[in-house]
Amino acid sequence: MGRTVRVTVRGSFDGLSAAQVAELEAAAAEHSFMNTRYTSEGYLAYDVPARPFFTFRFAEEVAGAEEVPAAAVRAQAKAEAWLAGHGYAFKSVTTQAVDMAEVPLGKRGRREASRG
């Protein structure tokens, strides 16, 4: 049975031109924080008029806990490739991976697990 890993890659856009800002603002509805989700291809969220930060969220299935760090590296590489491919300079990139099998169950989750 596989494990679901959620990887969050955060950073800042760096030195965007006026044309790049306009391009990001035009596509802002597709990248709203209000629609955030974890996907295999990665969901990009930003609000350039408010601040120059971005967040990518990736979901990946891995076989075991030992593969979690590699999933984080792959996610960061995908995010950086997307940014570079669109000509956006970036800085201060950080990556956080969460193995969902390690997340404690809340009261409702424990109740469901005990039934099952």
Number of domains in the chain: 1
Residue type at position 110: R
Residue 15 is predicted with a pLDDT of 94
Say what the pLDDT of residue 21 is: 95
Domain of 17, in residue numbers: 3-115
Edge to edge, the sheet with strand 43-46 lists 43-46, 53-62, 3-13, 90-99
User: What is the per-residue pLDDT across 17-65, written as a single tens digit (0 to 9) for each?
Assistant: 999 999 999 999 899 888 889 999 999 999 998 999 999 999 999 998 8
Question: Is beta strand 43-46 parallel, antiparallel or unpaired with respect to 53-62?
Answer: antiparallel
Contact by Cβ (8 Å): 6, 97: yes
Contacts of 68 (CB under 8 A, 6+ apart): 3, 5, 62, 97, 99
CATH number at residue 85: 3.30.70
The pLDDT > 70 percentage for the chain reads: 87
